[in-house]
Amino acid sequence: MKQKLLSFIHVPSSFLLTTASLLISLTFPLSPILAQDETSLDQTSLDQTSLDQTSLDQTSLDQVTPPQQLYVKGRQQLSTGQLQEALESFQKYLELKRNIGDRYQEGVALYFIGWVHDELGQYQLARSFFEQSLAIDRELGDRTGEGSTLNNLGLTYSNLGDDQKSLEFYQRALAIYREVSNRGYEGRTLHNLGNIYYKLGQDHQSLDYYQQALDIYREILDKSENNSLVSQADQGTLLNSLGLVYHRLGNHEQEQLSYQQALTIAKEVSDRISEGMLLNNLGIAYHRLGKYEQAFLTYQQALVIHREVGSKAGEAFTLRTIGAVLAAQNQPELAIIFHKQAVNVYQSLGQDVTKLSQEKLSQEQKQSYKLNLDNAYLSLSELLQQQKRVQSAQLVLNLFPVPEQKDDLSNQDKTQTRVHEKIPYLPEEEQIKAGYEDILQQQLSLRKQLNQLITIPIAERTPVQQDRILEFRQKEQQLTQEFLQFLNSSEVKKLVTQLRK
């Protein structure tokens, strides 16, 4: 049987963003964050194996026969990102099974070799091996296997930029899953179809497929918590996808609801990276609805998480969203501080930006990242110009790469202008920044203590520990409010008045 369970909304360290526009007070738009699997652009791959991932992880090599050891070893290497090693294991497994005429396992080996090549970004090779596996599926009459290979061919064609071909393979896979009454795989394929239609900008069709997938996910989850077909994490991924579609359709109430539901799941599965991402998306929905205070408080929670998990790009994006809310509330002086801080974080990331070329990312994703990064510089420059701070605005533009530099993030020399220099703060800005950074450090310290307690299984917690957890959570909420209260304080208002002079 073929099946690959999605990890929940895994976001790479580059913290990629979609390019969907959000109309805010500044010219340069913010974008909701696209949830995506580390290796598959948030599309479900289905794999061919008689072991599910849980049992595979618990299988030691001495529990299986020597031939099967190559297969188990390859799967474990694949799951831990040892791609070249996995490729070697599956190639040996393929040779072994061909020598003894085991056609089914030959198809399995071909399938996984295709998968590894897809992980490596070698999509033409991936297609070739999937097609060989597909031929064996059909020869043996393995309909479920055929559906899964068609599904992965759909993903590979999407990676190759042929979305129409991708749709064709997903539709064929969907027909097979419905024929064999495999509801879990049917739901995953519907999700994949929604992703392609979203990519093509056909939002109503994307929404229809997402809704069908969500109905199936919930149907399966309602029947049993312990199933190998669909997880709560899959439902969370899909809810975020729905939020993105609703954003583009302008239905921000439903967008807000989708992100809130996905956020609940992220908290339940203790996925802090996804929680931070979803807080950003939820904040954008609040912002679009004109709920500025809710947007601010939501962004502030996201900022704490990005600092906690070490996501510099996530931190920079969130600082910019906070600045956008302040600008929308006609507080440009405060907005400038947060935009400066966002640009300075990007400046510190200058060397790391080149790592994008080493990751398995589509050209669309790289362009999306560059767009959001560039817009951070342009937004700050625009704010400064609006405040007649022309010299400071020019300094920002001097850090901004010239057009030919934006075409290639992988060229180290071309990004050097972003690395060495940072935007200075005025004395009053430094004081304001120091004040809210102190609150932020208190939040991070509190979260560190809270994390130590919540890792203890609920059944093993003492009453004192449980009380401490409740106390810390209340304090977290209090500090989030204090962050906003500080920016509205008389102390900050005096400093803002001085900045206006």
Are the C-beta atoms of residues 78 and 119 closer than 8 Å to each other? Answer: yes
Pairwise CA distance, residues 360 & 162, whole Å: 17
Quick one: DSSP state of residue 230? Answer: -
pLDDT in tens, 198-220: 999 999 999 999 999 999 999 99
pTM, two decimal places: 0.81
8 A C-beta contact, residue 295 and residue 322: no
Assess whether pLDDT exceeds 90 at residue 361: no
- Average pLDDT for residues 51-65, to the nearest whole number? 53
**Short-list 244, 319, 256, CA closest to 283:** 256
Q: Report whether pLDDT(406) > 70.
A: no
| Separation between Cα atoms, residue 247 and residue 241, nearest integer Å | 10
What confidence tens digit (pLDDT) does each residue in 272-286 have?
A: 999 999 999 999 999
pLDDT-derived band of residue 417, with 50, 70 and 90 as boundaries? very low
Neighbours of 378 (CB within 10 A): 15
Residue 5: per-residue pLDDT? 28
- Give the rounded percent of residues in the chain with a pLDDT score beyond 70: 78
pLDDT digits (tens, 9 = 90+) for 305-330: 999 999 888 899 999 999 999 999 99
Mean pLDDT, to the nearest integer, of 33-61?
A: 44
Side chain identity at residue 177, one-letter code: Y
* 174 contact partners, CB below 8 Å, separation of at least 6: 186, 189, 190, 193
36-67 residues labelled b (16+ CB within 10 A) or e (exposed): bbebbbbbbbbbbbebeeeebeebeeeeeeee
Q: How many CB atoms lie within 10 A of CB 253?
A: 11
- In this prediction, residue 104 carries a pLDDT of 95
- 3-state DSSP call for residue 48? strand
Where is 44: in which H helix or E strand?
none
Three-class SS of residue 2? strand
The angle, 0 to 180 degrees and rounded to 10, between the axes of the packed helices 312-328 and 332-348 is 170
A 10 A CB-CB count for 284 gives 30
**Is residue 358 over pLDDT 80?**
no
Cα separation, 406 vs 401, whole angstroms: 6
Neighbours of 336 (CB within 10 A): 26
Most confident of 213-217, 220-224, 229-233: 213-217
